[in-house]
């Protein structure tokens, strides 16, 4: 019986549907053989072609080749799996590897091309972090060994959805490959593109190409791009040094702010101020350890709890120092210096006994990790940015407390004229304790901030005590505004001198500058005002 037209149509559609639903086999036997044997250039061309249109078998074949798990047995390419193997094209499983199977030869050029191909394959559908990692690998290979065979893979990746940073790196890789092209127009466009990048990684490539370029037009473009790049790098380097100087200045400000209050108010040379910073850092470490063990889900917020605890811990230690030792030594600076130095040794040894002599690490919360990139070459770490903001907040808080509160009024009164303040009914002994506790608490906050940029150890405070005194003396004893100017000025000056003369000579130059400045202006940047200053 002859089938009706409708039945014939249904059979035809079903056959077409079954045909279309069969998986496309992109990996042919000839492709597999071309990948593992023959001329290196042809093998790389096959590799890049398979990487631009990967299927599961092609991907498995390339990865097995990168892992050196391929063997060739006549016309078959085998992927080694344990004692057996799998046919890379048909998927046939072999219980044992044939004795006639031979190793696949891989040279350095092919290995580099495989790294590029795998990185390009990782770009498709990968999360942003993986895309950036793969794009960085592609960019590195394109800059080291530019090869026109890399272009199809890079072009295909650029046509897909990409993370902005990954796209920027791939565009530079594309320009680097095209800069080695035989086409003058492509080289010209690539030279202009690389000049717009404003990244230090581009400079060696531009210099190298400038030495070998024959075209006058391309040479002119390379020179213009190189000049623009060097100007941009000079600006970004200056900004980076300024940022590093401000970061160091903010740390010095936090370390010296408490000392400015205690030294300015009572004239006490507190050699244990660095150990109060160290106590604040260890308090932060203890809070971090508690959150890691007991509240791991809230670990990113441990720093918000650590800040008040560091302040209170250092403030209590400072108050105890003032009430038990320092209050009996007012007006005797040499004895006070020796006593506080002894206290600093006791505190350091106590910390060594409790927590050990080894440094401990404090981990940044997630929101303080990473960095922000500006101008292509200027990278600013988030932990440094946040510490600068934290220093500003502490400075504003201390300024408001000194100028707007009753305690601040008493502190200023005792600072300017202690006998008259006592005659007016101010309990100067209590104000001394409060002021010393406040200065010690601010030192604890400095330790909390320092824990985010380095290891915490018993000797942490020793690195900042001398710098803190220099900031206070340079700014003017008891002058918060002077402390700010001195801290930022010394931080920026120190970092710019480091870039010019090295770290050791920079320290010496800063010390000489302070000595000369104090000789010319003993009262510091800002002189103390009031009758007490005239006495």
Q: Where are the chain's structural domains?
A: 125-235, 245-357+375-534
> In terms of pTM, does the model score above 0.85?
no
| Residue-level pLDDT at 290 | 92
Q: Is 328 exposed, middle or buried (0-12, 13-18, 19+ CB in 10 A)?
A: exposed
Task: Name the token pair of 208.
Answer: 């190298």
Is the per-residue pLDDT at 460 higher than 50? yes
3-state secondary structure 4-50: CHHHHHHHHHHHHHHHHHCCCCCCCHHHHHHHHCCCHHHHHHHHHHH
Average pLDDT over residues 120-142: 74
Relative to beta strand 93-94, strand 371-374 is unpaired
pLDDT tens figures, 416-449? 777 888 888 888 888 888 888 998 999 999 999 9
| Residue-level pLDDT at 68 | 80
| Residue-level pLDDT at 2 | 47
Q: Which residue has the higher pLDDT, 116 or 318?
A: 318
Q: What percent of the chain has pLDDT over 70?
A: 89
Is the per-residue pLDDT at 7 higher than 60? no
| Residue-level pLDDT at 23 | 42
Is the per-residue pLDDT at 108 higher than 70? yes
| Residue-level pLDDT at 527 | 56
Judge whether 471 and 492 are in contact, CB under 8 Å.
Answer: no
Q: Identify the CA nearest to 118 among candidates 134, 104, 141.
A: 134
| Residue-level pLDDT at 25 | 47
| Residue-level pLDDT at 312 | 94
Q: What percent of the chain has pLDDT over 90?
A: 11
Distance CA 466, CA 43 (A): 65
Is the per-residue pLDDT at 366 higher than 50? yes
Residues 6+ apart with CB under 8 A from 491: 245, 246, 247, 248, 249, 250, 251, 252
| Residue-level pLDDT at 278 | 92
Query: Mean pLDDT lowest for which of 130-134, 232-236, 338-342, 432-436?
Result: 130-134
Relative to beta strand 102-103, strand 70-73 is antiparallel
| Residue-level pLDDT at 84 | 79
| Residue-level pLDDT at 461 | 82
Q: What is the average pLDDT value for the chain, to the nearest integer?
A: 79
| Residue-level pLDDT at 75 | 80
| Residue-level pLDDT at 142 | 77
Average pLDDT over residues 372-391: 83
Average pLDDT over residues 175-191: 83
Q: Which residue has the higher pLDDT, 482 or 221?
A: 221
| Residue-level pLDDT at 528 | 54
Is the per-residue pLDDT at 523 higher than 50? yes
- Expressed in angstroms, the distance from the first to the final Cα of the chain is 127
Is the per-residue pLDDT at 515 higher than 90? no
Average pLDDT over residues 377-381: 79
Measure the CA angle with vertex 379, ends 377 and 385; round to 5°. Answer: 150
| Residue-level pLDDT at 54 | 60
Alpha-carbon distances, residue 180 vs 60, 172, 360 (angstroms): 32, 13, 50
pLDDT tens figures, 43-88? 877 777 777 766 677 778 778 888 888 888 888 888 888 777 888 7
Q: Which residue has the higher pLDDT, 501 or 420?
A: 420
283 band by pLDDT with thresholds 50, 70 and 90:
very high
21 band by pLDDT with thresholds 50, 70 and 90:
very low
Distance CA 37, CA 93 (A): 22
Q: What is the dihedral of CA 422, 425, 427, 431, to 10 degrees?
A: -80
Average pLDDT over residues 124-134: 74
Q: How many helices (H) and strands (E) does the chain have?
A: 22, 7
Residues 6+ apart with CB under 8 A from 456: 278, 281, 282, 284, 285, 359, 360, 361, 362, 447, 450
| Residue-level pLDDT at 19 | 35
Of the ranges 9-13, 216-220, 280-284, the best mean pLDDT one: 280-284
| Residue-level pLDDT at 199 | 77
Average pLDDT over residues 124-144: 75
């Amino acid at each position: 019986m002859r089938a009706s037209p409708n039945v014939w149509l249904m059979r035809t559609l079903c056959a077409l549907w079954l045909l279309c639903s069969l998986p496309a086999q992109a990996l042919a036997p000839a492709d597999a053989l071309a990948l593992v044997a023959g001329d290196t250039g042809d093998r790389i061309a096959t590799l890049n072609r398979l990487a631009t249109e990967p299927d599961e078998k092609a991907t498995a074949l390339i990865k097995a080749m990168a892992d050196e798990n391929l063997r060739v047995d006549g016309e078959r390419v085998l992927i080694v799996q344990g004692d057996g193997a799998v046919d890379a094209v048909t998927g046939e499983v072999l219980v044992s590897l044939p004795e006639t199977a031979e190793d696949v030869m891989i040279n350095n050029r092919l290995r580099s091309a495989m790294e590029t191909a795998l990185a390009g394959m990782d770009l498709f559908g990968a999360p942003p972090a993986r895309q950036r990692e793969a794009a960085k690998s592609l960019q590195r290979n394109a800059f080291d060994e530019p090869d026109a065979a890399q272009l199809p893979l890079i072009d295909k990746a650029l046509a897909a959805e990409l993370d902005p940073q990954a796209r920027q790196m791939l565009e530079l890789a594309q320009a680097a490959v095209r800069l080695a092209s035989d086409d003058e127009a492509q080289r010209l466009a690539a030279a202009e593109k690389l000049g717009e990048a404003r990244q230090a990684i581009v400079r060696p490539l531009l210099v190298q190409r400038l030495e070998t370029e024959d075209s006058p037009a391309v040479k002119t473009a390379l020179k213009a791009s190189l000049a623009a790049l060097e100007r941009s790098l000079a600006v970004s380097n200056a900004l980076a040094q300024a940022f590093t100087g401000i970061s160091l200045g903010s740390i010095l400000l936090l370390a010296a702010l408490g000392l400015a209050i205690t030294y300015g108010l009572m004239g006490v040379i507190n050699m244990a101020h660095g150990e109060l910073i160290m106590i604040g850092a260890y308090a932060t470490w203890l809070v971090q350890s508690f959150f890691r063990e007991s509240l791991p889900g809230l670990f990113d917020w441990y720093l918000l709890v650590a800040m008040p605890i560091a302040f209170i811990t250092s403030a209590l230690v400072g108050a105890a120092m003032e009430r038990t030792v320092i209050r009996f030594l007012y007006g005797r600076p040499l004895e006070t210096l020796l006593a506080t130095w002894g206290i600093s040794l006791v505190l350091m040894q106590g910390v060594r006994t409790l927590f050990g002599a080894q440094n401990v690490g404090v981990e940044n919360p997630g929101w303080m990790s990473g960095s922000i990139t500006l101008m292509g070459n200027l990278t600013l770490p988030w932990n440094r940015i946040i510490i600068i903001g934290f220093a500003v907040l502490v400075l504003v808080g201390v300024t408001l407390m000194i100028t707007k509160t009753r305690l601040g009024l008493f502190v200023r009164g005792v600072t300017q004229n202690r006998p008259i303040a006592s005659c007016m009914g101010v309990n100067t002994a209590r104000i001394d304790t409060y002021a010393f506790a406040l200065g010690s608490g601010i030192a604890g906050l400095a330790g909390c901030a320092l824990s985010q940029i380095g290891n915490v150890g018993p000797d942490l405070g020793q690195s900042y005590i001398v710098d803190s005194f220099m900031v206070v003396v340079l700014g003017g004893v008891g002058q918060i505004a002077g402390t700010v100017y001195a801290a930022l000025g010394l931080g920026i000056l120190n970092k710019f001198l480091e870039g010019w003369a090295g770290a050791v000579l920079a320290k010496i130059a800063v010390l000489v500058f302070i000595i000369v400045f104090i000789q010319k202006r003993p009262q510091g940047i800002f002189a103390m005002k009031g009758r007490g200053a005239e006495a």
